[in-house]
Amino acid sequence: MSGTTVLVAGASIAGLALAHWLRRRGAEVTVVERAPGLRPGGQAVDARGVTKEVIRRMGLDAAVRAACTDTAGAYTVDVDGNVLETYRADDDGGDGYISDIEILRGDFSRVLYDDTRDGVEYLFGDRIAELTQETDGVDVVFAGGDRRRFDLVIGADGLHSALRGMVFGPREQFLRHLGLVLAFYSVPNEFEVDRWLIDYQDPETGRSAGLRPVGDPARVMAMLSFPAAEFDVDHRDVDAQKALLRERMAGLGWETPRILAHLDDTPDFYLDQVAQVVMDRWSSGRVGLLGDAAFSSSPMSGQGTGLALVGAYLLAGELAAAGWDPETGFAGYERRMRAFVEANQEIGRVHVDSLAATGPDAGSSGEPAPEPDMEALMALADRAINGIELPDYAGVPDSGATAGHVGTGRP
C-alpha cells in the first residue's frame, strides 16, 4: 500500500482511464470535473490496434463492445446522394477508417465511470483554482473553497486545459490550429440512416456534412466541418458557436439545411477547432499532463481516444514502477509515449492537408497536388496504430480489473 494520493483534473476519457489504472496500482485517486456530471455527447470514437489491447487489460472489452455503435461502414456521396466510395468496418482487420470497436464518446465515458465509481473519489462541479508545488506535495485550492494536499496532480482537462495554463503557460504557446472547425450534434433520424455512415464533401469550398448511426434507430449524429484560418470563439460559448456554424455552413448542399434546422433543438452540441497540442515536456515537478491537454492529435487523426487510453496505462504503470517518484515516473512515460504521439499527430496533419487539397486553396500554387506516397502512408498508419510497446509491469502492484459491468447509476 503506497498511500500515494493523486488528483486528476477532468472526467472524460483520459481522466477516467487514468483513475482506473492508478487505483489498480494502489494509489488513492480523486477526480475533479468542472461539469456538474459526466459530459454526454461527441461523435463516435474508434479503438484500433494497441488501444484494443489496453481495453482488454482493463477488463472492459465486453462492456465496450456491448456499448458499440454497430456501424457497418461508411460511404461518401455527391451532392445528390449518389454513392462514390464505400468502406466496410471489417476492412484492414477491423482497424480501418471505421473500426470494429466504435463507441460514442459519451457512452465510453459512462463505461469508464461505472467501472471506477466505487474505488475513486469523484468531485463534480468543481475545479482547481490554485495550485502550489512544495518539495513533498502539491497544495490545491478548489474553486468550491476546499484546500487539500496531494502527492501528484495530473491534468486530463482537454484541449483547453486550465491546469496546463497554470503550470506551463498560456495555451497559445502549445496549440496548433490546423485550419478546420468541426461540429457534432445529434438530430432525429429523418434521413433514413441505417447502419452506414454517410459523408458528403464539397470540393469547391472544403466544407463537409455527414450523418452517422448512433445505435438508436430514432437518432443520428450530424457531423459538419468548414475551413477557418483563424478561430477565436470561446470554447464555452455555445450560442456563439451555433451562430458561427450557421453562418459558415450556409449554402452547402446535400442534407445540410435539414441538419442545420435542428441546431436549436439538439440536446447535445460540440464544436471546436481542429487543433493539436505540441509540448516539449508533459510534466513539471509533481504535475503531469495526459490526453488532449498534453498531446491532442486532433479529431482528424481519429486517435485522440487511443492516445488517452494508452497514455493512461503507461503513466500509471511508470509512476507505480518508479515507486511514485515523479521525476523517474514522468520521464519513463514521456520516453515511451513520444514517438507514438508524433506518429498520430502526423496522421492528423496529413488528413487535414488532404482535405485542404480539395478546398478553396487547392491549386493556389498553380501546381497540381502531388500524388500521395501510399507506401509511406501505410507505414505511418501502422506506427500510429501499433507503434508502441505496452510493458506488462510484472512485479508492479495490480489489484486487477473489476467485472467491467455497465451500471445504470448517474453521478
Ligand X SMILES: Cc1cc2nc3c(=O)[nH]c(=O)nc-3n(C[C@H](O)[C@H](O)[C@H](O)COP(=O)(O)OP(=O)(O)OC[C@H]3O[C@@H](n4cnc5c(N)ncnc54)[C@H](O)[C@@H]3O)c2cc1C
Give residues in contact with ligand X (CB under 6 A). Answer: 9-15, 32-35, 39, 41-43, 45, 105, 127, 156-159, 162, 184, 270, 291-293, 299, 304-305, 308
Distance CA 107, CA 198 (A): 21
Compute the least distance from the CB of residue 223 to ligand X, in Å.
8
Compute the least distance from the CB of residue 12 to ligand X, in Å.
3
Distance CA 223, CA 185 (A): 7
Compute the least distance from the CB of residue 123 to ligand X, in Å.
9
- Cell numbers 477557418 label which residue? 228
Q: Pick from 210, 185, 153: which is nearest to 27 by CA? A: 153
Compute the least distance from the CB of residue 18 to ligand X, in Å.
9
Looking at the Cβ atoms of 211 and 396, the one nearer to ligand X is 211
Compute the least distance from the CB of residue 391 to ligand X, in Å.
22
Compute the least distance from the CB of residue 33 to ligand X, in Å.
5
Compute the least distance from the CB of residue 305 to ligand X, in Å.
4
CB 295 within 8 A of CB 345: yes
Distance CA 112, CA 18 (A): 10
Distance CA 370, CA 364 (A): 13
Alpha helices in 190-250 (DSSP H): 238-249
Q: Which run of H or E residues covers position 84? A: strand 83-88
Nearest-CB residue to ligand X? Answer: 291
* Positive/negative CA dihedral, 160, 165, 169, 170: positive
Distance CA 208, CA 225 (A): 5
Looking at the Cβ atoms of 114 and 292, the one nearer to ligand X is 292
Compute the least distance from the CB of residue 331 to ligand X, in Å.
21
Looking at the Cβ atoms of 78 and 342, the one nearer to ligand X is 342
Looking at the Cβ atoms of 215 and 253, the one nearer to ligand X is 215
Distance CA 203, CA 358 (A): 5
Looking at the Cβ atoms of 384 and 396, the one nearer to ligand X is 384
Query: 12-23 b/e with 16+ CB inside 10 Å = b?
Result: bbbbbbbbbbbb
Give Cβ neighbours of residue 97 (< 8 Å, ≥ 6 apart).
74, 87, 91, 302
Looking at the Cβ atoms of 36 and 397, the one nearer to ligand X is 36
Looking at the Cβ atoms of 96 and 396, the one nearer to ligand X is 96
- Residue 28 C-alpha from the chain's centroid: 25
